[in-house]
Amino acid sequence: MQLDFTQRWRNRRASYRPAGEPFDPRRYDVVELSGDAAAKAFVVEHHYSGTYPAARFRMGLFDASGLVGAAVFSHPCSDAVLTSVFPGRATDSVELGRLVLLDHVRANAESWFIARCFELLRRRGLRGVVSFADPLPRKDEQGRVTTPGHVGTVYQATNGTYLGRSTPRTLRLLSTGATISDRAIQKIRRQERGWEYAVRQLVSDGVPPLEGPVDHWLHRAMTALRTVRHPGNHKYAWALHRSERLPPSLAYPKLHFAGLGPSSASLQSVP
């Protein structure tokens, strides 16, 4: 299916650009960002997740107004996410953990931006990139969609190799529709670095304050949360060198709108 729009973000709210509008790459530059400050501030402010991954490389998309897009290449919680695709050292490949462009950036900028990012990673000696598209929309307790579902349309446009779905799992949701990750739960149980923040996140959502043994409190907290069954994320990969061999791509998943697509009123006009 040919899409007639591309998704953009500002302040974690989605809008859409008409896909047929012209894109002039001469108006843009791609720069590797040093340190997390600029990339993290931009991603947390604008990406729908409001979170920032364990970054290794950060690329910024700039126009005359300044930073208008960011791609963050990170290291996943498990090395196997990378080494199952690119065998060897996990540090030889990366995950595209966040990609966000502002609402005034023209359609088709994503594929151009990603291609430039891959060039910079190739110069760094990286072998490949893995990324995931989360197809499951999240809703808050009032039934409003807070996180859209994606099938990786931009990854398909950049000829990503589709490797199928990750393992299905059960998610625990806050009242806002945000997910409490298994890693956050593990931090609380083991009282590892950052566990207090995860506790505060649960308490701010209405879970009673932590009292007594942590395991007992955590069990009560998890019982109070909504759960939803996740079918697994869509997994894509790109080899950065011709010598790298990936398995044949599976058939790309298709986007089903289910009423979540843009209305004509939400399409950005072409300046």
Q: What DSSP string describes 109-174?
A: HHHHHHHHHHHHHHHTT--EEEEEE----EE-TTS-EEE-----HHHHHTTPEEEEE---EEEEE-
The candidate with the shortest Cα–Cα distance to 33, out of 1, 7, 55, 5, is: 55
Q: What is the mean pLDDT of residues 143-153?
A: 85
Tokens in use for 93?
């490949």
DSSP secondary structure code for residue 223 in this structure? H
Q: What is the mean pLDDT of residues 49-78?
A: 94
Q: What is the pLDDT of residues 172-213, one digit of tens each?
A: 999 988 889 888 899 999 999 889 999 998 999 899 999 999
Cα gap 55→207, rounded to integer Å: 31
* Model confidence, pTM: 0.85
Give the pLDDT score at 145.
Answer: 83
Task: Please tell me whether residue 44 adopts helix, strand or coil conformation.
Answer: helix
Task: Please tell me whether residue 18 adopts helix, strand or coil conformation.
Answer: strand
Domain boundaries, the chain: 5-166+232-266, 169-230
Hey, what CATH topology would domain 5-166+232-266 get? Answer: Aminopeptidase (3.40.630)
Give the pLDDT score at 259.
Answer: 40
Give the pLDDT score at 64.
Answer: 95
